[in-house]
Amino acid sequence: MLNVAFIGNGKSTNRYHAPFLLARPESFRIKTIYGRSAPTWELIPGTQYVSDIEQVWADDSIDLVIITTTTPASHIEFARIALERGRNVLVEKPFSDTAAEAEELFALARERGLFLQGYQNRRFDSDFLTVQRVIASGVLGDLLEVEMHYDYYRPESSHAFPPSAEPGFSFLFGHGVHTIDQALSLFGSPDRIHYDVRQLLGPGRANDYFDVDLYYGTLKVTIGSSFFRLVSRPRFAVYGTKGVFVKETEDRQEEHLKVFSTPSAPGFGVDAPRDYGTLTYIDDDGVRHEERMISEVGDYARFYDGVHASIVDGAPKVVRDEETVELIGILEEGLKLWVPASAEEIAAYSARVRAAE
């Protein structure tokens, strides 16, 4: 069993990490949670809550530090300290502001012989796992296009969050980090990339739209998100020479976590039949078929199974170091197209976010 300490006691820790660690009691024990202020979430029995981070560093029984603070800049700061204190580290996404920072941190981990990995739980989304299964079946033929979308209708967000010089505050970093990682894990490094990063309300507003096209020979993978989609585009659309697979809805785990369901609850993260994707294809005899594909069951606890196997048994990491570095580099390059706000707006917004950590 690995003793775990969290740096950060907000939504990320309590909604998106802790439930899945608690689902693996034979592998993990949440021993300590550090936060700057008093806990506002329901306390986890048997867990120590501290406001002095030195209590984390002084505890030699801690095997793994999980960093869930708000900004990539703080991720790097705390991860470096944790590695220097001899701790294995898991870092919430986005891992860092720059690829160079990520490379530096992985080098430090290798030098110290410690585990360091970025947290990419959406590799275990039900929709993504289902797409993988369909592609692996070969029924679509040679792939030509893959479209991946996370859309919202949140026009107020373009007003509420000023563009910041800190990458972690951008829509591109905060949302592209999910889907671009999925593409890299499925298809590897692209031959070339095209970016379209916008503020739909004009300069001086928050980044609220992006399309990133990854090219792999004749295959194009389009990754898009917008705050101005009253009707969302399909979560996945996969086109091949023999067919197409469309998955309209996304993984249900986050939806269920928001209503305080737990991974052990019946039906947690399971798609209803109305949410199954549709596969349409032509078989070898030229006959057209259309069928609903039962969704794979998503399970973010599987990510933690991989973390445990890597630390305890030396198994390969779920997310390789070079994948994290490449992901941050892609986001970093796209951010060059984003017009920042004034220094005063940036400082004010940064202060509000840090005060809430």
The per-residue pLDDT for range 318-343, each reduced to its tens digit, is 999 999 999 999 999 998 876 555 55
Whole-prediction pTM value? 0.90
Structure tokens at 63: 């095997």
**Per-residue DSSP letters for 57-69?**
HT-TT--EEEE--
Of residues 148, 147, 234, 157, the one with CA closest to residue 200: 157
Domains of the chain: 1-119 (3.40.50.720), 122-302 (3.30.360.10)
What SS3 class is residue 1?
Answer: coil
What SS3 class is residue 76?
Answer: helix
For 182-227, how does the pLDDT look when each residue is reduced to its tens digit (9 = 90+)?
Answer: 999 999 999 999 999 888 877 667 788 999 999 999 999 999 999 9
Burial classification of residue 164, based on how many CB atoms lie within 10 Å of its CB (0-12 exposed, 13-18 middle, 19 or more buried): buried
For 157-194, how does the pLDDT look when each residue is reduced to its tens digit (9 = 90+)?
Answer: 766 655 555 666 678 988 999 999 999 999 999 999 99
Q: Could you give the angle at which helices 126-137 and 171-187 cross, rounded to 10 degrees?
A: 30
Does residue 6 surpass a pLDDT of 90?
A: yes
Token pair 């005060």 is at which residue? Answer: 355
Q: How far apart, in whole angstroms, are the C-alpha atoms of residue 219 and residue 221?
A: 7
pLDDT bucket at 40, cuts 50 / 70 / 90: confident
List of residues 6+ apart from 36 with CB closer than 8 A? 51, 357
What SS3 class is residue 25?
Answer: coil
351 or 295, which is more confident: 295
How many CB atoms sit inside 10 A of residue 153's CB?
13
Q: How far apart, in whole angstroms, are the C-alpha atoms of residue 79 and residue 216?
A: 34
pLDDT for 207 equals 81
pLDDT bucket at 98, cuts 50 / 70 / 90: very high
**Per-residue DSSP letters for 103-132?**
HHHHHHHHHHT--EEE--GGGG-HHHHHHH
List of residues 6+ apart from 335 with CB closer than 8 A? 167, 170, 172, 173, 197
**Per-residue DSSP letters for 295-344?**
PPPP-THHHHHHHHHHHHH-PPPSS-HHHHHHHHHHHHHHHTTSPP--HH
Q: How far apart, in whole angstroms, are the C-alpha atoms of residue 318 and residue 322?
A: 12
∠ CA 82-83-84, nearest 5°, is 90
